[in-house]
Structure 1
Amino acid sequence: MDTILLIILILMFGAILAILYLNIKSKKENRADETNEIANLNAEIIRLKDSLNSTINTSLSSMSTSFNSLSTGVTKDMTEALTKVDEKVGNFNEQVKLLNQSQEGITKILAGVKKYGTLAEYSLDALIKDLLPASQYMTNVKMKEDTSENVEFAIKLQGDVLVPVDSHFPVEKFKAITDAHEADDKKAVADARTKLASAFKAKAKSVMEKYIVPPKTSNFAIVYAPTESLYKELTEYQDPSSKELLTQELMKKHKIVICGPNTLSAYLQSLHMGFQSLKISKHATEIYDHLKTISTRFSSHFDNIYKLRKKLEEAMTVVDSF
């Protein structure tokens, strides 16, 4: 009985040892598996890390290339844009310079500085030269031998009669009317208009005394107002007392006709057409005279031929009688 119990105890102890051994072995195997898994995991992590680094490097390289390309494009576009801006600024500065020069030129003209003469003279010069051939006008003509005064222009009429043409533009007096209108000062407007009329009356008297010298000239002269607004002001002005128009007064007293750009243009064009008609008429008369001369010569020639024929017939009659 004791022996059986001992055997049983030994078997049980052996079984326990076997179980312990198997457990220990199983743990060792599990540890080995865990070590392998950890190694595999580390290897996978390293592979993923390398792949990620490669992807990042590729992306960075691509981004760098794209950025460099974009930077180059932006730099080029900016350079072109700045160049265009510089050109536009240069053009703008040039235009401002030209505008300043034009303003200086106008200021000089309005101040009476003689570059091409005053504004009125320059306007008159351009108008006459544009509408008349050089053979129909003269510049800076002395009408009286006992004076040094020259009229600006003289237009040639038939028979070499001259029409004196002088310009007048009292800028400050005309500007005073505009300023008074802007200030809505009726008294100042009336005073300024009277002063402007007085300036043209004085000019008309001066032109009459200096330049109207019949029969060398016509019995009237032209005073040119270089702007339509000035001409309108002059033609509308009436004497406060007599109510006579300024243009009528100047014609009656001083034989002066006031012309603006449009009226002078129409007058010059009519003169030019008249001259052309006279030339055509003259040429037609000359052609007719030439034809008459030719006709007369032909008639004389045929008369001579007839006389020669008669003499030949008489000579043949004498010969036949022999």
Structure 2
Amino acid sequence: MTYAVVILGLLVAVLVWVVIRGQAVPKSDNTALLLKQDLTQLSNDITQLKDGVQKQMNDQANASSRQIAQQSAASIRILQDVTEKLTKLEGTNKNVGDIANELKSLQNVLQNPKQRGVLGEFYLAQILKNTLPPGAFQLQYKIAEGMIVDAAIILDDKILPLDSKFSLENYSRLLEAKPEEQESLAKIFKEDLKRRIDETSKYILPGKGTLDQALMFIPSEAIYYDLLANKVGLGNVSGRNLIQYASEKKVTIVGPSTLSAMLQTIMQGLRSIEIHKDTEKIRKNIEQLSKHLVAHNAYMLKLGSALGTTVNHYNATYKELGKIDRDIVKITDAEASVEPALLDRPTLLDD
């Protein structure tokens, strides 16, 4: 556009110069005619230049409009994308906030010993329900008056006590303790577990229908692993480690993963018991059937004997009938009309 204005200015300057020159030069007919032609040509050039400039300005305006429209559309898309991401981010932040609240609630639950115990019992119940059939266990089983165990696994006519123990508070203190505090806190934690083992062993009452063994369930996989790895199990607890102490008390300590595996083994045992029961039932039925067969055989022997006696009577009677027939033949000289059809007595077949 600037280039066109410059050209237009130059043409105007030329026009002015021509006019001034025309005034300075003596006029003649040819000169006036040429001047008129030049002015006409200059007017046409100016008109074409104006049209060209107008067209160029229109093209630039259209191009600018298209560019502005494209930039506006791109800006709108960016704003929409940013708005959508902000909305998602807001939802994510809300979810994070909800999770944080839930974790805080869970932390509050775990800080309360009673609620922590309820959580451990719930965890134990879920594992039992997901592994054993309904009739193979019972929750809150009453072994004796005032003695209720968290769960009992029913094995034929005996039960296996299973109690949940969640010693989290002292374990958390031990993990967060400074090096100089760990020894004393480890001793406290071990004594706590020792008391839990003693509590579980109280449910072993063979006179009340329990097995001579009990299971102590630790809901925390971390505590159970540390116990197995001897990170908290070693150390003097009356001169023995906790695993040995539990074994002496006839208590088996199990965690979430090992309990599931042990329950699978118990399931196999229950199936074996059921198979044994079915086998015993079949054996008794076969014994009963054998008795029926013996009785039926005795009846058949009696029936055979009775049939033998009947056949003897039949044959004897037929023989007497033959004698009568022969006497008639002697008297009348007629042919014998009776041919005795004797029967064989039933005999026992050899095996």
User: Which band: TM-score by shorter chain?
Assistant: 0.7 to 0.9
Q: What's the counterpart of residue 126 of structure 1?
A: 126
Give the conservation status (yes or no) of the 8 Å contact 2:201–2:251.
yes
Q: What's the counterpart of residue 13 of structure 1?
A: none
The one-character-per-residue Cα deviations of 1:292-320 (angstroms, maximum 9, x if unpaired) are 43454456546545654554564455345
Matches of 1:286 and 1:228 in 2, distance apart? 43
Give the C-alpha shift of residue 45 in structure 1.
0.8
Matches of 2:291 and 2:83 in 1, distance apart? 83
Give the conservation status (yes or no) of the 8 Å contact 2:117–2:164.
no
**Sequence identity (%):** 24
Q: What's the counterpart of residue 55 of structure 2?
A: 54
Matches of 1:228 and 1:52 in 2, distance apart? 85
Give the C-alpha shift of residue 174 in structure 1.
0.5
Give the C-alpha shift of residue 103 in structure 1.
0.5
* 1:245 corresponds to which of 234, 241, 246: 241
Look up the SS of the partner of 1:169 in the other structure. coil
1:82 matched to 2:79: no
Amino acid at match of 2:120: A
- TM-score normalised by structure 2 residue count: 0.69
Structure 2 unmatched ranges of 5 or more: 1-24, 319-351
- TM-score normalised by structure 1 residue count: 0.75
1:280 matched to 2:287: no
The one-character-per-residue Cα deviations of 1:47-74 (angstroms, maximum 9, x if unpaired) are 2202321342244235424533553454
Give the conservation status (yes or no) of the 8 Å contact 2:165–2:216.
yes
Matches of 1:80 and 1:287 in 2, distance apart? 77
Look up the SS of the partner of 1:215 in the other structure. helix
Amino acid at match of 1:287: I
Q: What's the counterpart of residue 17 of structure 1?
A: none
Q: What's the counterpart of residue 144 of structure 1?
A: 144
Give the C-alpha shift of residue 244 in structure 1.
1.6
Structure 1 unmatched ranges of 5 or more: 1-22
Give the C-alpha shift of residue 230 in structure 1.
1.6
Matches of 2:48 and 2:79 in 1, distance apart? 47
Give the C-alpha shift of residue 97 in structure 1.
3.5
1:29 matched to 2:42: no
Matches of 1:274 and 1:284 in 2, distance apart? 15
Q: Mark the CA change 1:101 to 1:315 in structure 2 (over 3 Å): closer, same or farther.
A: farther
1:265 matched to 2:260: yes
Amino acid at match of 2:240: E
* 2:211 corresponds to which of 214, 218, 221: 218
Give the C-alpha shift of residue 194 in structure 1.
0.6
- Could you tell which deviates more after superposition, 48-57 or 117-126? 117-126
Matches of 2:306 and 2:71 in 1, distance apart? 116
Q: What's the counterpart of residue 191 of structure 1?
A: 184
Give the conservation status (yes or no) of the 8 Å contact 2:117–2:166.
no
The one-character-per-residue Cα deviations of 1:191-210 (angstroms, maximum 9, x if unpaired) are 1111011112222333444x
Give the conservation status (yes or no) of the 8 Å contact 2:190–2:237.
no
Task: Give the alignment's Cα RMSD to 1 decimal.
Answer: 3.2
Look up the SS of the partner of 2:144 in the other structure. coil
Give the C-alpha shift of residue 110 in structure 1.
1.0
Look up the SS of the partner of 1:143 in the other structure. strand
Q: What's the counterpart of residue 165 of structure 1?
A: 162
Give the conservation status (yes or no) of the 8 Å contact 1:112–1:118.
no
Q: Mark the CA change 1:83 to 1:312 in structure 2 (over 3 Å): closer, same or farther.
A: farther
Matches of 2:103 and 2:305 in 1, distance apart? 90
1:290 matched to 2:290: no
Look up the SS of the partner of 2:206 in the other structure. coil
Amino acid at match of 1:278: I
* 1:227 corresponds to which of 208, 212, 220: 220
Q: Mark the CA change 1:59 to 1:318 in structure 2 (over 3 Å): closer, same or farther.
A: farther
Matches of 2:264 and 2:296 in 1, distance apart? 47
Q: What's the counterpart of residue 349 of structure 2?
A: none
* 1:154 corresponds to which of 152, 165, 169: 152
Amino acid at match of 1:227: S
Q: Mark the CA change 1:98 to 1:113 in structure 2 (over 3 Å): closer, same or farther.
A: farther
Q: Mark the CA change 1:73 to 1:240 in structure 2 (over 3 Å): closer, same or farther.
A: closer
Matches of 1:302 and 1:256 in 2, distance apart? 57
The one-character-per-residue Cα deviations of 1:4-39 (angstroms, maximum 9, x if unpaired) are xxxxxxxxxxxxxxxxxxx956x4422431232023
Q: Mark the CA change 1:28 to 1:115 in structure 2 (over 3 Å): closer, same or farther.
A: farther
Matches of 1:306 and 1:44 in 2, distance apart? 147
Give the conservation status (yes or no) of the 8 Å contact 1:131–1:268.
yes
Q: What's the counterpart of residue 45 of structure 1?
A: 46
Matches of 1:130 and 1:57 in 2, distance apart? 79
Give the conservation status (yes or no) of the 8 Å contact 2:161–2:214.
yes
